[in-house]
Structure 1
Amino acid sequence: MEGIGLENTEIQLERGFIQTNEFFQTKESHIYAIGDVIGGLQLAHVASHEGIVAVEHIANQDPHPIDYTLVSKCIYSSPEAASVGLTEDEAKEKGHDVKIGKFSFKAIGKALVYGESDGFVKIVADKETNDILGVHMIGPHVTDLISEAGLAKVLDATPWEITHTIHPHPTLSEAIGEAALAVDGKAIHS
């Protein structure tokens, strides 16, 4: 961040990143910063949402600050990987007594048709509250599937609520429904 004139402003840097408030406003109230220049999760979809929050703040639309624990993380590899929320270990470190639902794509017809049946969906839930703490996926097209888990986290859905979402057949999303059933040992096609 050198040579762009920041030294002539009140904008502050920390470890080379521009510091902002929760609405991405810098110490210069008319200047906002988002994305890679502020550090944090350097993902295109995060920067895009940061931009929306900043514009809503500029327009006095009373935006909600971003909860970065709800950001889906995706790895575009073969097989793909995606996650949202806490891992099993992170949940335990935070004091949660967890229960796990895990379901393999090997039992999903559409994955077999694609010839891509390696991988699984894993749901980490709190034993006492039944809250979904995290969802982790490895397998075909999971970077497309993770949004259902992200929405479940935003809505504070439980595995039971996911099981009552009728997942069409044959689809890869059936693995999410089966993993939700597996949280309580009730997976149908395992």
Structure 2
Amino acid sequence: MPRNKEFDYSEKLITARDLFWKKGYNATTMNDLVDAMEINRSSLYLAYGNKHNLFLEALTNYMQQKDRQYGQAAKKSDEPLEAVKNIIYSVCESALRDNNCLFTNSIFELALSDQEVCRLLKAQTLKAVALFEKLLKQAKENGTLQSNKDPLALAHFLVSGLVSIYNTHILFADKKLTRQTAEMLIGSISQ
């Protein structure tokens, strides 16, 4: 009986994540996953469960990557309002570099039909909202944000606006327009 080849669980998860990111959940077949991950079907099932479980792990991995991205962007400035802007600019650069977003794709493809995916996406959105709200409250307290807008409502708006940056780039592939979308989002903070 042949022995199953050992493989790096995390490395193969990233391969699956990138495939789901490129093709979407529904268009990615088990054969696609087996071929891309270069493992046999039984090893895939043993290690990750079914396609849905693998997707949930891949989406979680992607969202952890986005958490790190937002945290690093925010830390580039001690000024909270600049930290908010840095996050938005970071998302814009990701859209220009990556051309799409697994999180955004999953919202439109699965959030209405898959409760587990919706729960993950909602939790991640609320985490981003909490980060923005905290920064906006700090900016109000230190006087750099003069707006009368409710920080929580503004945080929700800004996080929703991050999706619009990807949406604009996916639909139009126009770098100037994508950057303008990010600038308009930033401009909405103080209006």
Name the larger-Rg structure.
Answer: 1
| Structure number with higher helix proportion | 2
| Structure number with higher strand proportion | 1
TM over 0.5: no
